[in-house]
A and B are shown apart, each in its own frame.
Chain A
């Protein structure tokens, strides 16, 4: 138990350093054009200008004097925030802010509750992204697993051959299938909604609300499923086939164990670790697909925030989303590590 704990603490530490480096890279890239600095400076300037304008004791000042006063206040504020320092030191300051999710204020966007804080805008949408992504991931994993196992048993059958021949179709990403699903189920058949996550206005009862969300989730989930099912089942079938030719499986069969037991205990168990590994890689890369899928189905998650921020050129939000994605990716890696450690005891040693 302590071993597992120690293993995970080490993994968390390593991943945190990794996230820090990734976020630092984001900051350096964003700031190579002076973006973050300029944003912060304009924010300070705006606040100072407002406070000077509203300050009644400064009524007698001329415009020139006010401007001078403003400049000096801005300068001291920049100094207190450490923005007069060289970039290397400033970037550390930005890094600290980003890592603690102190992501600043949005330029134009507001969260649904009216807050201008980037943190609120993002965190408000995060659950929806996680809902869609997790459902899709879990669904795909289990469908691929059962189908792959079925196929490996009926190796050489028509369905098996069909899947093998259709596997090249998986190079087409999920969001792209999404366009066609929209064409068929929304534009042509009019039976499913075109996007969003709930009917508007929202239905009165909780049950109907859940039903409405499920209706909106069908198409994005289906799109992802179509794109991953062929190659997913194909590769899992291969893993199962490799393991089902092992001698101990033959022995188990010869002993007369029921086929279900052979399947579960003698083929599935040893095949799981490599399956999880290849699955982990695909999950990590599918975060990228999640962003664009949300855009296609106007699913109001992080991908939509990003796309709205692009439309409004809201730089702090874009940077914030990037930082959050770094955290999400690291979280995914950690979670997969955890699952892997449960399934494969060798990792823990």
Chain B
């Protein structure tokens, strides 16, 4: 039994891991995470991420609930990306007095699906009265449809074409004249703009033109427009209901979640180790006090308490880590590790240490803890995912700081906004994938180390 209490040092364990295939595999995943974390910290500073993540105005020009670009490949369709027309335009002067200009944007639309929205962001400077716009739409078949006349309301204003019912009426009118019957599908603005005239809901591919005639009231007035046709795919991770690109939270979630899990697992295991050693070594009243405390902790409703504390005191995730450590102080680990201590206690070298007069604390910290550390390490590593999942649980209950982008936060957002019912699977699957990758790699590493330090498992 005695030599089973590990003959390996920490360095030796590391060398042994490399001999196992799954050990190497888990180390590769860790290397990937480390690279990811370093990239995240360098490329997108934390403060900037937080302020951007919580700024609802920052993402107006991104599509809402767009799926990741690579995900789009699996649908077998060429799904539309965001098209920003501002650099595809040209300017014609129609007349000098009154000053009339025409902005023409031409672009090719070869996607297989309709866009989601169509907004035009205007910026203008005017003296007395805001400029008046007349917007035309030119289809690939050269039909030019008048969409609407609109007067800007302020110097910076946005025209949401999708919300204008008058455009809808104009487009239905156009389709009716082409088809000679009422279109058999419901016509929305984006559909009407891009549908072909076959009577089915097909995209008309080809070169489209957007004409904006502007009547400026004063010759010094200026106007710029940024028309954006919102797509269905965006970036490597897609966007959420607030148009925020998910990769931001996925990337920053990595260091936050992993340090939460690592911090919790390491500190809790070490504290258990110390308490178990004290309990086992000193025995007597100390021992029974610690044992009674572990029994009380057993019926402590851990999760409701965590939820209650973080809800009532609005703690940040790092302060919550201390609460977590406190609430796990006398966990079941103390009991199992105490059994190890009782075995080590009888070993000859401890006897020798006692004989030459080593102090109690010296024996506890320098002789016993280092000895029982290796067999405890597998449990430490396997417990890391549990704490990463705890973060997700607390996020799903909505008691964690909502401004922090974490994996759990994304899952919670996805749940709250019906991702499962509306079919936004990427929204749930991306953070889940990272969580699973973390969990499985730590578990594999834990199992490998378990085999190394507890050789009895090899035989079975």
Contact = CB atoms under 8 A, between A and B. Distances in A.
A22 interface: yes
A42 to B, nearest CB: 15
Nearest to B310: A310
B398 interface: yes
Contacts of B428: 179, 183
A222 to B, nearest CB: 16
A326 B399 CA distance: 21
A279 interface: no
A48 interface: no
Given A171-B385, A176-B389, A326-B300, A26 B425 contact: no
B179 interface: no
A311 B420 CA distance: 20
Interface string B284-315: 00000000000110111111110111011100
B307 A310 contact: yes
B53 to A, nearest CB: 22
Interface residues of A, number: 55
Nearest to A328: B301
A201 to B, nearest CB: 20
B393 interface: yes
B305 A21 contact: no
B299 A18 contact: yes
Contact of A310 (B309, B397, B423, B436): B397
A40 interface: no
Interface stretch (A110-118, A210-218, A284-292): A284-292
Chain A contact residues: helix, strand, loop or mixed: helix
A182 B305 contact: no
Contacts of B392: 176
A176 B435 contact: yes
B312 A35 contact: yes
Contact of B301 (A187, A238, A322): A322
A202 interface: no
A167 B429 CA distance: 22
B276 interface: no
A30 B304 CA distance: 11
- Main secondary structure on B side of the interface with A: helix
Contacts of A287: 301, 303
A325 B130 CA distance: 64
A345 interface: no
Interface stretch (A93-101, A136-144, A313-321): A313-321
Interface string A160-179: 00000001111111011001
Contact of A318 (B308, B421, B460): B308
Interface in A270-321: 281, 284, 287-288, 291-292, 295-296, 306-307, 310-311, 313, 315, 318-319, 321
A26 B460 CA distance: 45
A287 B411 CA distance: 22
Nearest to B435: A176
B443 interface: yes
Contact of B300 (A22, A296, A311, A321): A22
B308 A329 contact: no
A70 interface: no
B213 to A, nearest CB: 47
Interface in B292-344: 295-296, 298-305, 307-309, 311-313, 332
A176 B432 contact: yes
B301, B312, B396, B421, most chain A CB atoms within 10 A: B301
A19 B299 contact: yes
Contacts of B308: 26, 29-30, 318-319, 322
Contact of B420 (A173, A187, A322, A329): A187
B304 A329 contact: no
A252 interface: no
Contact of B302 (A169, A180, A288, A311): A288
A183 B414 CA distance: 12
A30 B425 CA distance: 38
Contacts of A319: 308
Given A168-B440, A168-B444, A171-B386, A187 B423 contact: yes
A25 B300 CA distance: 9
A132 interface: no
A322 B304 contact: yes
Interface in B399-456: 399, 411, 420-421, 423, 425, 428-429, 432, 435-436, 439-440, 442-444, 446-447
Given A19-B299, A238-B460, A325 B312 contact: no
Given A183-B420, A295-B396, A22 B296 contact: yes
A311 B416 CA distance: 12
A238 B456 CA distance: 11
Contacts of B425: 183, 187
Nearest to B414: A179
B308 to A, nearest CB: 5
Contacts of A86: none
A7 interface: no
A49 interface: no
Nearest to A307: B397
A243 interface: no
B382 interface: yes
A241 interface: yes
A315 B432 CA distance: 31
A307 B392 CA distance: 14
Contacts of A78: none
A220 to B, nearest CB: 15
A330 interface: yes
Contacts of A29: 305, 308-309
A22 B311 contact: no
Most buried by A among B305, B385, B429: B305
Given A186-B420, A310-B398, A15 B312 contact: no
A305 to B, nearest CB: 11
A333 interface: yes
A22 to B, nearest CB: 5
Given A18-B295, A325-B304, A187 B444 contact: no
A292 B390 CA distance: 10
B389 A173 contact: yes
B311 A288 contact: no
Contacts of B429: 183
Nearest to B326: A29
A333 B332 CA distance: 13
7 contacts: A18-B296, A22-B296, A170-B443, A172-B440, A288-B302, A329-B298, A329-B300
Given A18-B296, A168-B440, 14 more contacts: A22-B301, A29-B309, A171-B382, A171-B386, A171-B442, A176-B392, A183-B429, A187-B421, A187-B425, A194-B420, A295-B396, A306-B397, A310-B399, A319-B308
Interface of A: 14-15, 18-19, 21-22, 25-26, 29-30, 33, 35, 167-173, 175-176, 179-180, 182-183, 186-187, 194, 238, 241-242, 281, 284, 287-288, 291-292, 295-296, 306-307, 310-311, 313, 315, 318-319, 321-322, 325-326, 328-330, 333
- 6 smallest CB-CB distances across A and B, nearest first, come from A325-B301, A168-B443, A322-B304, A171-B443, A329-B299, A288-B303
Interface of B: 295-296, 298-305, 307-309, 311-313, 332, 382, 385-386, 389, 392-393, 396-399, 411, 420-421, 423, 425, 428-429, 432, 435-436, 439-440, 442-444, 446-447, 460
